[in-house]
């Protein structure tokens, strides 16, 4: 209950504070190609419930159908403005709306694709015992430089050790990571390689 009150209170406060930035980037992204500035995609939430996650669009329109290798170190689907908003996590500001609706939290495992569900081990499914978050224990301990196995282990650690003080620690570490731009991208590619399961 304390976590939900914290999420709701600060989501409202931050939406008010960041409203000019939300409006500004909505216009800038829309003017790139006169298309929807938001990226809305189905993700898996607490107890495997599906929800629509909202982010600022950082790629070209219909990027998923472009055929470009998403593991490339030069992902041409990402626009120049998209690279900027990713760098400073501005693309995730619309997630505050998901927090208002109770679909996400400020802190928790990052929400992943629906198609990954059949690929999880029993242990990895534990990450869905809590609400997904804008940031999480994996994000402040390596983020995109981690392997999928390492990310899932950190997610499970968070679920097992969840507390108000751990959430505060993750929030402060996230602020530091964003300012220092540490762990934004992996060594060989801009976007994260798809999870293909636990088989070698």
Query: What is the C-alpha to C-alpha distance for residues 184 and 191, in angstroms, rounded to an integer?
Result: 10
> Tens digits of per-residue pLDDT, 13-47?
999 999 999 999 999 999 998 999 999 999 999 99
91 pLDDT higher than 50: yes
Tell me which of 143 and 46 has the higher pLDDT. 46
Structural domains counted in the chain: 1
Is the residue at 66 inside a domain?
A: yes
Please report whether residue 198 resides in a domain. no
- pLDDT interval class at 186 (50, 70, 90): very low
Residue 189 has pLDDT above 50, yes or no: no
Looking up tokens 């507390």 gives: 163
Please, which pLDDT band fits residue 191 given cuts at 50, 70 and 90? low
**Within-domain flag for 191:** no
Residue 187 lies in a domain: no
**Distance between CA 62 and CA 128 in Å, rounded?**
29
Bin 83: left if φ > 0, else alpha if -120 < ψ < 50, else beta.
alpha
Query: pLDDT tens digits, residue range 66-84?
Result: 555 554 556 788 999 999 9
Residue 183 has a pLDDT of: 55
- Predicted confidence band of residue 53 (pLDDT cuts 50, 70, 90): very high
Give the separation between CA 44 and CA 50, rounded to whole angstroms: 5
pLDDT at 190: 53
Handedness of CA 153, 85, 104, 18 (dihedral sign): positive
Instruction: Tell me the residue range of the domain where 108 lies.
Output: 2-180
The answer to whether 144 and 106 are in contact (CB under 8 A) is no
Q: CA nearest 121: which of 71, 195, 177?
A: 195
So what's the pLDDT on residue 27?
Answer: 97
State the helix-helix crossing angle for 2-33 and 80-87, rounded to 10 degrees. Answer: 160
Q: Considering the domain boundaries, does residue 130 fall inside one?
A: yes
Whether 161 is covered by a domain: the verdict is yes
pLDDT digits (tens, 9 = 90+) for 93-115: 999 999 999 999 999 999 999 99
Q: What is the structure's pLDDT at 64?
A: 73
Asked whether residue 69 is assigned to any structural domain, the reply reads yes
Angle at CA of residue 156, ends 155 and 158, nearest 5°: 65
Go through 93-111 and write b for each residue having 16 or more CB atoms within 10 A of its CB, e for each that does not.
bbbbbbbeeebbbbbbbbb
The three-class DSSP label of residue 73 is: coil
Task: Identify whether 122 is part of a domain.
Answer: yes
Task: Give the span between the Cα atoms of 112 and 69, in whole angstroms.
Answer: 19
**Can you give the pTM of this predicted structure?**
0.86
Q: What is the pLDDT of residue 120?
A: 95
The pLDDT mean for the chain works out to 89
């Amino acid at each position: 209950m304390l976590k939900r009150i914290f999420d709701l209170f600060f989501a409202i406060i931050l939406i008010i504070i960041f409203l000019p930035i939300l409006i500004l980037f909505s216009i800038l992204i829309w003017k790139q190609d006169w298309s929807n500035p938001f990226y809305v995609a189905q993700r898996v939430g607490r107890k495997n419930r599906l929800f629509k996650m909202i982010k600022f669009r950082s790629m070209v329109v219909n990027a998923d159908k472009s055929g470009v290798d998403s593991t490339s170190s030069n992902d041409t689907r990402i626009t120049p403005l998209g690279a900027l908003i990713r760098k400073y996590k501005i693309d995730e500001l619309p997630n505050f709306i998901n927090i208002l609706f109770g679909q996400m939290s400020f802190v928790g495992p990052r929400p992943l694709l629906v198609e990954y569900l059949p690929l999880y081990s029993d242990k990895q499914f534990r990450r869905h015992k809590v609400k997904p978050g804008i940031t999480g224990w994996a994000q402040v301990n390596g983020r995109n430089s981690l392997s999928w196995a390492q990310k899932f282990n950190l997610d499970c650690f968070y679920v097992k050790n969840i507390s108000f003080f751990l959430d505060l620690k993750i929030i402060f570490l996230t602020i530091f990571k964003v300012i220092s731009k540490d762990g934004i991208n992996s060594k060989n590619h801009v976007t994260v390689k798809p999870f293909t399961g636990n088989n070698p």
